[in-house]
Amino acid sequence: MNRTTRTRVLTRASLSVGAALTASMLAFTLVAAGVNVAGAAPRALDHPRTHHSHDAQGLRGRVSAVSATSLTITNDGRSSSFTLDANTAFVKNGLAIPASDITVGAKVRVTLSTTASTTPPTASSVALLESPEVKMGHGVEGTVYSVTPSSIVITHEGQQMPFAIDANTVFVMNGMPASIANVSQNAKVRVVVSSTSTTPTASAIMIFANESDHANAVTGTVTAYVPGVSITVMGPNGPTTFGITATTIITKDHVLLLASDVTIGSVVRVVPTTTTSLTAGIIALED
């Protein structure tokens, strides 16, 4: 093969390679742009998740406010509000539940309607994931968010928790019998629960208006005890006898106990009703 022929062959090969490279680059460009090219494997584009795709999975949070027409949830300190209408479904574990089961403090998942364009957006469903359950007899401490003659809402760990108040609810302030009139907004309280319904009922509301009164408590061993009448405690300064009334609360680790749970030899901390009183407001069993 002469020099001229070799040059022509190399030139044709270079043109072929160049054309192939140009075609490959064009196919890659078209695929990257989302155009389907014959013989080219389609490539899935990583589109950013839209608000609607996130909504389709549901928005989770704790209920901070709820009414017949609106719902507000809080998650990581951020609040989101939603509109509730006649088409909003309320469910738990796939089963329908009353709308009244969605209460402040409940953990829910809200799915948005794809057809409604309201502001706030309309919830197509509200799934109850976790009720604001409080074990019977256990206490929950917090600050008073609101109070009425029939209910109290306290803020506990950043969440509002509602409790019902009835004729059997006992009010105690620093070991002394009190009333609902002593409960004010932002007051520090401990609510002891007597039921575990959707809105638990408070058996006792302990108001901590003046913690210094607890400095007058006596800790020691029970040496004499007549349930409902009196208790004698052997403390560091000798024995002290306290009277027991119908409003005396017997507790351990914020759990209400029965009078029979106190026995001779029990170690207790007795908080008097006042700094000068020998009447027991609280008898707390110690470990």
pLDDT of residue 140: 78
Distance separating alpha carbons of residues 120 and 81, to the nearest angstrom: 6
pLDDT of residue 38: 45
Distance separating alpha carbons of residues 138 and 146, to the nearest angstrom: 21
SS3 150: coil
Contact (CB, 8 A) for 209 and 196: no
- For 68-112, how does the pLDDT look when each residue is reduced to its tens digit (9 = 90+)? 899 999 887 788 899 999 999 999 888 888 888 887 777 899 998
pLDDT at 67 over 90: no
Name the architecture of domain 216-285.
Beta Barrel (2.40)
Which pair of structure tokens corresponds to residue 161? 């928790």
Three-point CA angle 18, 21, 22, nearest 5°:
85
What is the enclosing helix (H) or strand (E) of 251? strand 238-252
pLDDT of residue 75: 83
pLDDT category of residue 264 using cuts at 50, 70 and 90: very high
Name the architecture of domain 139-209.
Beta Barrel (2.40)
Residue boundaries of the structural domains of the chain: 62-130, 139-209, 216-285
The pTM (predicted TM-score) of the whole model is 0.38
pLDDT of residue 206: 81
Three-point CA angle 45, 46, 49, nearest 5°:
130
